[in-house]
Structure 1
Amino acid sequence: MPTGWGSAVHLAGVRPGQTVVIFGAGGVGSNAVQGAAMAGAERVVVVDPVEFKRDMAKVFGATHTFATAEEATAFVIQSTWGELADHAIITVGVLHDEVIHDAINIVGKTGQVTVTAVGNGWIDENPGMLIGYQRRIQGGIYGGCSPLVDIPRLISLYKSGKLKVDELITRRYALDEVNQGYQDMLDGRNIRGVVLIDHDD
């Protein structure tokens, strides 16, 4: 949870009234959605090809969801009068050049791309896309969260009902179903799966 939430709150530094686009709505992305919503973003836009994940993103605070970057970009252009997004947060399972390209193109001047994903390759593009428009790419691990500060804060938000945790666990598996859990994750059928171990055995 801190990784996604912190990506929006700490690394991106989302502020009230901003437009945030989150690429990938799995476990990390869903918490980035919650972080952006709690930080006061006016528009929290999610891009994910899996319908189930887009539907769940709305539970966590997404204001708009799209299956493709093209659809999201068209919406952001229209809804911001061409100013584009303030932030793009990448939380896909495997990072690749195309999503970085899409994220850079969806943020406006002085916009920031926050990468909370790993993968292969890097964008092969005109550096003017970053330099000319003063855009920034911010990377980080654990969402920039401090365990001593943010874990108690997240627990408090959960206890007060402001942070959704139980809804993140969309499927529970017995220990002998662990392979099915991994397959469901790869197929986009769960946001977070947990393996339950019967201590009586």
Structure 2
Amino acid sequence: NAATGELPNGGFRFHENGADLGGMCVLGTFSQWIVISENACVPIDEDLSFEVAALVACGVTTGWGSSVYAAGVRPGETVVVFGTGGVGMNAVQGASYAGAKNLIAIDPVPFKREMAGKFGATFTTGDPAEATEKVIELTRGQMADKVVITIGVMEPQVLEQAVAMVGKGGTVVVTSVSSSGDPTFVLNGSPVTGWHKRIQGSLFGGANPLYDMPRLLSLYKAGDLKLDELITRRYGLDDINQGYEDMLAGRNIRGVLIHEHD
């Protein structure tokens, strides 16, 4: 039902000119008020703000889980993260928390690279070729243990670069979604087979909402997870289009929509 927005018990709660409208992922959180299944609700502590708690509903948990669960980052490993936006910055946080020794973040936006250092990255660059050289230097040619791809739209050359960056037995986690226009990727299978490399898809980081959301919020309250620092800008509902423009232009790590209720 996530694609159509139809509620689990059937029917829709949004309508326009007599037509049913589906809420995004059966939620539709741009609306001031929504009707959802109780199974989509996760209780939070009363002292947590909604704008902070909202971050773990998707981006934080997806990024964190991509490193911790899908990639299975372990202490001492070398990890590369492609893209440090609302998802990727949390892949950096997750890899750092899991104990990555060398943590390389790749992003074309300078301020995101600067922020990645504050979230745990040990080296940042906007150039995948430079990242590859750094991996070779740090690992003495053994290459990375894990690469996590969290760019906005998946591109064939990024997957090729990621597979080349991991060493024997390494894992490439694909969290990004391919373009609907051309979703086909072509890879040389010999290095994948010969070096026992693994390409792992990741949806929501492999996390469990009812378990991981409260867990991440508890880490935030303990000072072990950065959430406030993710919020670059706040928007009212009237400014939602500006929020999208800022996201597409790479101006935000995370933009938050603030609802005002009378």
TM > 0.5 between the two?
yes
Total equivalences in the alignment: 200
> In structure 1, what is the Cα distance between the partners aligned to 2:176 and 2:187?
20
Cα RMSD after superposing both structures: 1.0
Contact 1:44 1:62 in 2 (8 A): yes
Q: Deviations over 1:91-139 (max 9, x none)?
A: 0100010110010011111110001010133432321121111100001
SS in 2 for 1:98: helix
SS in 2 for 1:79: helix
SS in 1 for 2:234: strand
SS in 1 for 2:171: strand
Q: Which runs of 4+ in 1 moved over 2 A?
A: 120-123
Higher relative contact order (CA 8 A, sep 6+): 1
> In structure 2, what is the Cα distance between the partners aligned to 1:122 and 1:112?
20
> In structure 2, what is the Cα distance between the partners aligned to 1:143 and 1:171?
25
Does 1:56 pair with 2:118?
Answer: no
What amino acid is the match of 2:91? Answer: A
Hey, what does 2:61 align to over in structure 1?
2
Hey, what does 2:188 align to over in structure 1?
126
The partner residue of 1:193 within 255, 258, 261 is 255
**Unaligned residue ranges in structure 2 (runs of 5+):** 1-59
- The TM-score normalised by the length of structure 1 is 0.97
> In structure 2, what is the Cα distance between the partners aligned to 1:51 and 1:91?
17
What amino acid is the match of 2:101? Answer: E
Does 1:153 pair with 2:215?
Answer: yes
The partner residue of 1:88 within 134, 147, 167 is 147
1:140 positional shift: 1.6
> In structure 2, what is the Cα distance between the partners aligned to 1:198 and 1:146?
30
> In structure 2, what is the Cα distance between the partners aligned to 1:192 and 1:56?
12
SS in 1 for 2:177: coil
Structure number with bigger Rg: 2
- The TM-score normalised by the length of structure 2 is 0.75
1:148 positional shift: 2.5
